Amino acid sequence: MNEPVLALEAIEKTYRRALAAPVHVLAGASLTLARGEVVALVAPSGAGKSTLLHIAGLLDQPDAGRVVIDGRDMGSLGDDARTLARRNRIGFVYQFHHLLPEFTALENVALPQLANGAGRARAAERARDLLARVGLAERTDHRPAALSGGEQQRVAFCRAMANAPQILLADEPTGNLDPGTSDQVFGVLMELVRGTGLAALIATHNLELAARMDRRLRLREGRVEADD
């Protein structure tokens, strides 16, 4: 079996606040993610799935345990190397699109590439290609305010894919949409992920969407277990 592109090993995370009891969010959470695999992480709000995704995406550090990407322990890296790994290897999608309102759809998708050293022409070409894949070829020059909620989230998907990551981490990517739009947008996300062959970990409380993924994991009492 091929080595997983992402492995979380016995991750622990506790939040400590003044004058309040510690909150133990993750208590030995472990999972693996293979190339080309789409995995659902199912948990109710407040169970710690966002914390787990932030740790997997190198946005936060665990109190204990390891984050391993392509066989390399990310905890052994300095801040600059972690930032580079996050920029080049990981794409993020959130419940709210977080697009920059003053920029067009094309510019929002091109910006991560420019920040990573790509030339303007190359970044624009890739942005147009990605937007065309999700059905927004005619909307590239529109700013977020001129797009529907589903269109905004599709732009966010393209932005996450802009630097050709190996791993996509999505936190309730359709949670802010109505059921019909949610189903349509999720279908677009799956097509985009399948077409690029990357690994995707998608946190959701929507069991119907989770059932359409390759595998389902459940976060319960700080641990990850198979959801049969």
Q: Read off the pLDDT of each residue in 97-121 and give the average, rounded to a whole number.
A: 93
Domain count for the chain, please give it. Answer: 1
Confidence (pLDDT) at 1: 46
Task: Give a yes or no: residue 123 inside a domain.
Answer: no
Confidence (pLDDT) at 126: 94
Task: Give a yes or no: residue 127 inside a domain.
Answer: no
pTM above 0.95, yes or no: no
Rounded alpha-carbon distances, angstroms, from residue 134 to 46, 51, 122, 155, 208: 31, 29, 19, 8, 22
Contacts of 150 (CB under 8 A, 6+ apart): 177, 181, 184, 185
Paired tokens of 65: 């345990």
Digit-coded pLDDT (tens) for 37-59 = 999 999 877 778 889 999 999 99
164-189 as b/e: b if 16+ CB within 10 A: ebbbbbbbbbbbebeeebbeebbebb
Task: Give a yes or no: residue 149 inside a domain.
Answer: no
Task: Give a yes or no: residue 161 inside a domain.
Answer: no
Task: Give a yes or no: residue 131 inside a domain.
Answer: no
**Residue of 37, 205, 172 lying closest to 93 (CA atoms):** 172
Q: What is the CATH number of the domain that holds 87?
A: 3.40.50.300
Confidence (pLDDT) at 10: 94
Digit-coded pLDDT (tens) for 71-84 = 889 988 888 888 88
Residues in the chain: 228
Q: Read off the pLDDT of each residue in 83-90 and give the average, rounded to a whole number.
A: 89
Calpha distance 181→36 (Å, rounded):
25
User: If you ran DSSP here, which 8-state letter would residue 3 be given?
Assistant: P
Q: Kindly tell me if the per-residue pLDDT of 31 is higher than 90.
A: yes
Digit-coded pLDDT (tens) for 114-145 = 988 899 999 999 999 999 988 899 999 999 99
Task: Give a yes or no: residue 84 inside a domain.
Answer: yes
Rounded alpha-carbon distances, angstroms, from residue 172 to 169, 204, 216: 10, 5, 14
Range of the domain at 206: 6-100+167-226
Task: Give a yes or no: residue 152 inside a domain.
Answer: no
- Mean pLDDT, rounded, of the chain: 88
Contacts of 46 (CB under 8 A, 6+ apart): none
Task: Give a yes or no: residue 107 inside a domain.
Answer: no
